[in-house]
Structure 1
Amino acid sequence: MTVDGIWAYAPEFDHPEVHELAGYGVEATDGTVGHVDRQADEAGMRHLVVDTGLWVFGKSVLVPVGLVDGIDTAARKITVACTREEIKSAPSFKTDRETADPAYLSSVGSYYRSLPPRQRV
């Protein structure tokens, strides 16, 4: 994850065929988070909406694609460069209107940029 690239895929993942991630499972560095409910691929603010299911009482979270650390198309799974607790503590996501709100997106970006950097696996 790079600070400047929080809203962009890492170069190795920036291919059209990897952008169909809806339904993929999401793994944090310490376990399962949920699945990709939907994604937004608008240039400049690419992100995933992750449904955490019962793990966080049905909460959805917005995860910038710059946190994607691995994509396994065969297993339909992505890994992200943060922990379950870090995702759980992210700014709350309630409605799709927030994905167009610059203040909300700024708070999400600031939150994830503040996390300690992780080594790529």
Structure 2
Amino acid sequence: MTENMWAFQPTAGHLGGTDLTGYTVRASDGTIGKVDKHSDGVGDAFLVVDTGVWIFGKEVLLPARTVHRIDAQERVIFVDRTKEQIKNAPEFHRDQHLGNGGYREELGTYYGSGAPFGGRPA
């Protein structure tokens, strides 16, 4: 299940090679920040979002599967998670986690669990 978390949904409207840096990211209940880095590699797609003051300047890593829709004209990415779900995800540290398979597995499990729209497994 977690491997599917690292590919964009067919309905997202993502075109490979599109630079998403700087796009605003909106959760189902409000804006969470802007894309600082992204990957659209096959089976390795994700967004690194700078949350600014929302969670004290931290970054979060979102698997591509969380992307519901991309509005290229408005430069907005809509994700199908709440701000609280994103805030409660396993903490992300760029220098430790970008190449860390264990962290990606943990994050994939968190977002891909049976709980509605992700969440820590019971």
Q: TM-score scaled by structure 2? A: 0.85
- In structure 2, how many angstroms separate the alpha carbons of the residues matched to 1:14 and 1:76? 12
**1:15 positional shift:** 2.2
Counterpart amino acid of residue 73 in structure 1? A
Deviation track 1:42-89 (CA, whole Å, cap 9, x = no partner) reads 321210001110000001000001111111111100100000000001
SS of the aligned residue for 2:7 comes to coil
Task: Name the residue aligned to 2:84.
Answer: 85
Alignment root-mean-square deviation, CA: 1.9
Task: Name the residue aligned to 2:116.
Answer: 116
| Conserved? CA contact 2:3–2:108, under 8 Å | no
Are 1:51 and 2:70 counterparts? no
- In structure 2, how many angstroms separate the alpha carbons of the residues matched to 1:14 and 1:21? 9
Task: Name the residue aligned to 1:22.
Answer: 21
| Conserved? CA contact 2:2–2:105, under 8 Å | no
Which piece of structure 1 moves more, 89-98 or 68-77? 89-98
- In structure 2, how many angstroms separate the alpha carbons of the residues matched to 1:117 and 1:3? 14
- In structure 2, how many angstroms separate the alpha carbons of the residues matched to 1:108 and 1:82? 13
Aligned-pair identity (%): 42
**1:20 positional shift:** 1.4
Q: Which runs of 5+ in 2 are unaligned?
A: none
Counterpart amino acid of residue 74 in structure 1? Q
**1:96 positional shift:** 3.8
Q: Which runs of 5+ in 1 are unaligned?
A: none
Deviation track 1:5-63 (CA, whole Å, cap 9, x = no partner) reads 3110112434225x311100000000011011110223212100011100000010000
